[in-house]
Amino acid sequence: MSELPSTHGALICIALPGLAISGELGQLTGQGLDGFYRGGRRLLSRCQVRVAGREPLAVQARMTGADSARFVATLRASPAAGPDPDVLVERTRRAEGTERITVRNASARPLRLPVEIALGTDLAELGAVASGRTGPQLPATVRDSGLHWATTDAAASVTADPPPSDVLASAGLLRWELELPPGGTATVELRVRLDGAGPVRAAGRTTTSPIASARATGDDPRVAPLLDTAVADLQALLLRDATHPSDTHLAAGAPWRCGMAPAEALAAARMALPLGTRLAAGTLRTLARTQLPGHAARAGMIPGPRRDAGPLLPPSCTGTEATLLFPVLLAEARRWGLPDRETRELLPAAERCLSWLRTTVGDQPYLPDPQPAGPVRCETQAHAYRAALLGADLLDAYGRPGAAELRQWAQALRAAFRTGFWIEDHGGGRPAAALAPDGRPVPHLGAAAAHLLDTGLLGSGRFARGLLDQVQTEQLARLLGTPAMDAGWGLRGLGAKERGHNPFGHRSGAVRVHETAVAVAGLAAAGYEREAAGLLRGLLEAAEHFGHRLPEMFGGEQRTAGSAPLPHPAACRPAATAAASAIMVLTALAGVRPDAPARTVTLSPVRSAPLGELGLTGLRLAGAPFAVRISRLGLAMVEAAAEGLHLGV
């Protein structure tokens, strides 16, 4: 079995459907993930630059944006002149499929420098690259001012400006002879194109992007780059619906999941609601078109694949999660200012999701996952309970039937859950991870329990009542703050003391950024500020080590003095839920609780102000810019808001 190519050391430039990946040396070697991609196909896997017959020495590589990277290398063209390099080679790579190579003469005399660029590709699909099943490099032919490659189902070309003085197709070489005066520069630009396709038009790089360019300022210098990077990554991960280009949604993450993943797209759109409701609307419309029709048992579901759940439970169904998230996102998007017309258009799809929920549970208090005979998962009950309450709220707002039945079922679920899911022990008790099909509680504790704290936003800035009672909630808060769960960088997917714990397990011990953000927001809303602040500070520390671009997960090894978080070799970075998590945790500090239909917003800030003074500008609420500031004393004030929007109590 081949190893999945590692991503943690790669520089990933993304502006979907374009992608460019390389190591820190800047050369595309044809190995591993290296290459320019479009729509999941590698168009160019090799791009190696030689100057004066030698490979320049790499001295710096850095991301200059979500979609671009800059590489600097040096060369001694005259070794006899001393140890100092006299030639600089700068490469600027963009996900859209361009690379600009600039050669600078830093010496006091003119230089004649031969430059060679070796190009090649296998035109492999990303899945084949991931599994190590790529074929050999394809033979090239000369086309225009560059090279061309083709298979039976795809073709790509690279053109150069200025045109090379020599092209050697058999070796895949482009050559130039550069005459550089002292201090002079010369630039070559390469353009990588998929035959039959126009230039990459990234959905996030238009003036009509659905994501607002929010900014953060404050005492903690990490909040500004964290939010800047999160917004840029969300923009870069935007995709247009192929059949309805005006509707956009987020891809799950790069490089492995550059397509639609319904549960992740909905979760990320929900966390990103402070940046506007247009992303939520586009995501909901896109997924409504996939909803299963008819009157069968699965009618009304948003389809989704199975998801690994670690060693202690069978795979879960992301379709279940997506179906339950759909009405929640619609209800909360309405609170943030989704126009009434759009809400009404999406309401029938939300009603079908809620009908599926009621039909599936029948007379039972719990929702199995997957249906019909799967385990009764803790987080699935949290999602179902929230969907029922927020869905009922939505139905009432539009005079639709079914709200009372949903609330009645939610009440029965809450009563059953508080006894059936709570395991008493000498430590004060804990929620079960699941109930097995035979009713036996599965006792392990993991980050999925954080979803019990996420009850959802109702009117007047109120959160729905939780599945746990106050004593149980306090105990869960305490458990999430212990070293067994908090690695010092965030929440482990599975507690360190649990059987089957693996610090690199996707769901069995790695730190999961999404669940950590859910815990921070839920703990803050419930008043457990110390635990929320501890997880938040750890996440900020981890983000700094990752260049403020959080991966979807990373190693769950315990933090010690002077240590750094361990990258997970298979994690997506950027990832939609990780980027949106930054939005969620920062706005949670301000406790922004909107009710756009009632023209009010309530602020419930974290009184301990764990990051000191914090200002958030460029948010969107009720269709207008919104800005809020939290003082060092934990007091919040609105600095910009829609006309007629009042501060609630």
Distance of CA 376 to the CA centre of its chain: 27
Q: Which residues pair with 13 in a beta bridge?
A: 20
Q: What is the residue-averaged pLDDT of the chain?
A: 94
Domain shared by 621 and 584, yes or no: yes
pLDDT at 3: 61
- Confidence band, pLDDT 50/70/90 cuts, at residue 207: low
Residue 248 has φ and ψ, to the nearest 5°, of -120, 155
Instruction: Using the structure block, give the residue that is written with the tokens 């599994």.
Output: 131
Eight-class DSSP state of 81: G
Domain boundary among 163, 195, 227: 195
Handedness of CA 309, 314, 319, 324 (dihedral sign): negative
* Chain-centre distance for alpha carbon 75: 38
Return the pLDDT at 295: 78
Same domain for 253 and 122, yes or no, is no
503/493 Cα distance (integer angstroms):
9
Nearest Cα to 630, choosing from 649, 612, 648, 618? 612
User: CB of 138 within 8 A of CB of 150?
Assistant: yes
Q: How far apart are CA 135 and CA 14, in angstroms?
A: 25
CATH label of the domain that carries residue 411: 1.50.10.10
Task: Please tell me the predicted confidence (pLDDT) of residue 28.
Answer: 96
372 in the same domain as 295:
yes
> What is the DSSP pairing of strand 155-161 with strand 185-194?
antiparallel
The boundaries of the domain holding residue 178 are 11-195
- Report yes or no on 622 lying in a domain: yes
User: Is the Cβ–Cβ distance between 417 and 381 less than 8 Å?
Assistant: yes
pLDDT of residue 205: 62
What pLDDT score was predicted for residue 202?
Answer: 74
* 648 located within any domain: no
Q: Is the pLDDT of residue 4 over 80?
A: no
SS3 category, 561: coil
What residues are paired with 621 via a beta bridge? 624
Residues in Cβ contact with 500 at an 8 Å cutoff, skipping those fewer than 6 apart: 310, 311, 312, 444, 494, 508
Domain annotation covers residue 1 = no
CB of 468 within 8 A of CB of 452? yes
N-term to C-term CA, the chain? 59
Give this prediction's pTM.
0.95
Query: C-alpha 166: how far from its chain's center?
Result: 44
Residue-wise pLDDT for 43-59, tens only, equals 999 999 999 999 999 99
pLDDT digits (tens, 9 = 90+) for 588-604: 999 999 999 999 999 99
Do 190 and 236 lie in one domain? The reply is no
Whole-number Å distance between alpha carbons of 128 and 610: 46
Residue 17 falls inside a structural domain: yes
pLDDT digits (tens, 9 = 90+) for 343-387: 999 999 999 999 999 999 999 999 999 999 899 999 999 999 999
Q: Whole-angstrom Cα distance, residue 476 to residue 357? A: 27
pLDDT for 648: 79
Backbone φ and ψ for 454, nearest 5 degrees, come out as -100, 95
- Euclidean distance between CA atoms 191 and 44, whole angstroms: 10
Say if residue 223 is in the same domain as residue 167: no
Residues 6+ positions from 178 with CB-CB distance below 8 Å: 103, 111, 112, 113, 114, 115, 186
In 3D space, the residue among 517, 503, 487, 506 whose CA is nearest the CA of residue 578 turns out to be 517
Say whether pLDDT at 41 is over 70: yes
Are 428 and 467 in a shared domain?
A: yes
Q: Which of 99-113, 203-217, 570-584 has the lowest mean pLDDT?
A: 203-217
The reply to whether 341 and 490 lie within a common domain is yes
Nearest to 35 by CA among 25, 26, 45: 45
**Among 103-107, 225-229, 296-300, 432-436, which stretch is predicted with the lowest mean pLDDT?**
296-300
Considering the domain architecture, whether residues 183 and 248 belong to the same structural domain is answered as no
Helix (H, G, I), strand (E, B) or coil at 133: coil
Q: What is the pLDDT of residue 78?
A: 78
Is residue 646 one of the residues assigned to a domain?
A: no
What integer pLDDT is reported at residue 294 of this predicted model? 82
Picking from 240, 252, 347, 342, the residue whose alpha carbon sits closest to that of residue 291 is 347
3-state secondary structure of 546: coil
Query: What pLDDT, on a 0 to 100 scale, did the predictor assign at position 640?
Result: 96
Per-residue pLDDT at 1 = 44
Total Cβ atoms within 10 A of residue 2: 8
DSSP state of 337: T
Using one digit for the tens of pLDDT, what is the confidence trace for 252-307? 999 999 999 999 999 999 999 999 999 999 999 999 999 999 878 899 999 999 99
The band of 649, judged by pLDDT with boundaries at 50, 70 and 90, is low
CA gap 132, 256 in Å, rounded:
14
Q: Strand pairing of 173-180 and 166-168?
A: antiparallel
Q: Both 282 and 191 in a single domain?
A: no
List, for residues 380-408, the tens digit of each pLDDT value: 999 999 999 999 999 999 999 999 999 99
What are the Cα distances from residue 557, in Å, to 119, 151, 496, 511, 566? Answer: 41, 45, 9, 9, 7
pLDDT of residue 82: 77
**Domain annotation covers residue 130:** yes
CA distances from 18 to 148, 188, 403 (A): 19, 21, 44
6 in any annotated domain: no
41-44/238-240 β-pairing: unpaired
Q: Report the 10 Å Cβ neighbour count for 142.
A: 12
Residue whose tokens read 């059936």: 420
Residues 141 and 170 in one domain: yes
Residue pair 576/265 in contact (Cβ under 8 Å)? The answer is: yes
Assess if residue 207 is contained within a domain.
no
Rounded Cα–Cα distance for residues 33 and 31 (Å): 6
**What CATH number is given to the structural domain containing 167?**
2.70.98.40
Q: What is the pLDDT of residues 92-128, one digit of tens each?
A: 999 999 999 999 999 889 999 999 999 999 999 998 9
| Distance of alpha carbon 466 from the chain centroid | 27
The predicted pLDDT at position 144 comes to 86
**Tally of structural domains, the chain:** 2
Classified as helix, coil or strand, 334 is helix
Distances from the Cα of 133 to the Cα of 38, 107, 125, 127, angstroms: 19, 46, 9, 8
Give pLDDT, residue 306.
Answer: 92
Task: Compute CA distances 422 → 226, 384, 467, 472, whole Å.
Answer: 37, 18, 11, 8
Q: Is the pLDDT at 79 greater than 80, yes or no?
A: no
Same domain for 223 and 113: no
What is the pLDDT averaged over residues 315-338? Answer: 97
**Sheet harboring 41-44: ordered strands across?**
11-15, 18-22, 35-38, 41-44
- Average the pLDDT over 601-612 and give the result: 96
Secondary structure (3-state) at 646: strand
What tokens were used for 527?
């008043």
> Is 237 found in the same domain as 174?
no
